[in-house]
Amino acid sequence: MVVVTTTAARAQVAGSPPPKVLVIATGGTIAGVQDAPGSLGSYRAGTLTAEQIISSVPELSKHARVEAEQFANVPSTSITPAQWLTLSKRIEQVLRDRDDLAGVVVTHGTDRLEETAFFLYLTVRSDKPVVVVGAQRPATGISPDGPINLLAAVRVAASRQAVGKGVMVVMDDRILSAREVRKIYQRTGGFDVGEMGMLGVVGGSGPEFLYAPVRRHGASSEFDMRGVDSLPVVELAYSYPGGTGPRYARQPDGIAVQSNGFTRAEGEIFAALRRAGVVVATVFAGGDNMTAVRDPDAPRDTSRAAAAPVRAESPARASTSADSTRSDSLRTPPLPPAPPTVTAQHLTPAKVRILLMVALTRTKDPREIQRYFLRY
């Protein structure tokens, strides 16, 4: 990777120099250009280099000494899980090895921004700020939003207030937790966090934080990717009225299923997959489920089971048991109970898939994976 350092476009304010921030560029609309600049026409995402993006925002030098690194230059729909893994390792390494860096900003296309941000949220084990930012309009378009978004992102990454807040997404002057952020439509202001997850805002005086995430992230993460060469294969499936369940030519390691409840046929298919060793995690379609999920470590209340009377076999049933011996021998033996499904709380289906991928790098036990889903 080629690393370049921008030249400050304006004189630094007297006193201590501003913090250093590394901008890692992956492409996307924020690096997009049009064949007819200044129009509302189509554009080519991932065209401008990291250095070109930064040099177009001279105001950055007031707030940080910015370095640029080109990781990729593609539309975000071309980003793969293998690149998530490489990017996460790179960010964790540079934050660990360089004490002079205050934080990292990742420029990214918006279509897959929330997935990359959540993967980094789970796997970058550092309390230094990591901010993912993008744009809904190309750099050469009318009123591009990339420059102001990048300025706000760098200000957040350089802020001491941002330490320990986990990976964040900064769009439209809002600071959003990567756990909750989602793209809801394709225009400025199109990123949201539902009922929770907005951490603060970026105003004229800089970042102002009002909230902080409480689930595990950053330095407290258990997901060490340094020894991971590839991520487990996890599919995303949908349950729907009349559904019969998915079939796979090659069995995946896990499946995240968007469902409010299985049909009978779906239930049988997913039970068979669980018996075959596939971990199945269920999630509400909108990702807003906050149904209480039992901690596998919690003690069970067996008082009712202990108090329930044991029913003796009725004489009529007993008298027919010998007669049914021949027919019983011809019946299919009962299937063993399937391992439990994993239940997700307040995550979108795409993010459930990501958490399941990461969890499977540590264990295939659905009970232990349920604990991860309760912690993160």
Q: Which of 6, 26, 29, 282 is catalytic?
A: 29
Count: domains in the chain: 2
**249 shares a domain with 209:** no
| SS3 of residue 237 by DSSP | strand
Q: Is residue 306 part of a domain?
A: no
Q: Is residue 324 part of a domain?
A: no
pTM, rounded to two decimals: 0.86
Q: Looking at residue 299, what is its pLDDT?
A: 59
**286 shares a domain with 171:** no
CATH number of residue 143's parent domain: 3.40.50.1170
Q: Looking at residue 344, what is its pLDDT?
A: 95
**268 shares a domain with 175:** no
The type of residue at 153 is: A
The type of residue at 187 is: R
Q: Is residue 229 part of a domain?
A: no
What are the residue ranges of helices labelled H in the chain? Answer: 50-55, 81-97, 113-123, 146-157, 264-275, 303-307, 315-321, 325-330, 349-359, 366-375
Task: Give the chain's end-to-end CA distance (angstroms, integer).
Answer: 32
CATH number of residue 367's parent domain: 3.40.50.40
Q: Looking at residue 327, what is its pLDDT?
A: 52
Q: How confident is the model over 248-302, as pLDDT tens digits?
A: 999 999 999 999 899 999 999 999 999 999 999 999 987 777 666 666 666 555 5
- In the beta sheet, which residues pair with residue 22? 67, 104
Which of these, 176, 169, 349, 166, lies nearest to 257 by C-alpha position?
349
**Tokens found for residue 91:** 């960010």
Segments of the chain scoring below 50 in pLDDT: 2-13, 303-325
- Print the domain residue range for 266: 234-299+333-375
- Point out the domain boundary residue: 166, 188, 220: 220
Edge-to-edge strand ranges of the sheet holding 279-283: 234-238, 254-258, 279-283, 342-343
**200 shares a domain with 83:** yes
Q: Looking at residue 119, what is its pLDDT?
A: 98
**182 shares a domain with 136:** yes
**203 shares a domain with 121:** yes
Q: Is 7 in the active site?
A: no
**87 shares a domain with 206:** yes
**144 shares a domain with 245:** no
- Point out the domain boundary residue: 177, 198, 220: 220
**58 shares a domain with 164:** yes
Q: Looking at residue 11, what is its pLDDT?
A: 40
Stretch (H or E) spanning 131: strand 130-133
Q: Is residue 288 part of a domain?
A: yes
Q: Looking at residue 163, what is its pLDDT?
A: 98
Q: Is residue 228 part of a domain?
A: no
Phi, psi of 80 (to 5 degrees): -115, 160
Q: How confident is the model over 65-78, as pLDDT tens digits?
A: 999 999 999 999 99
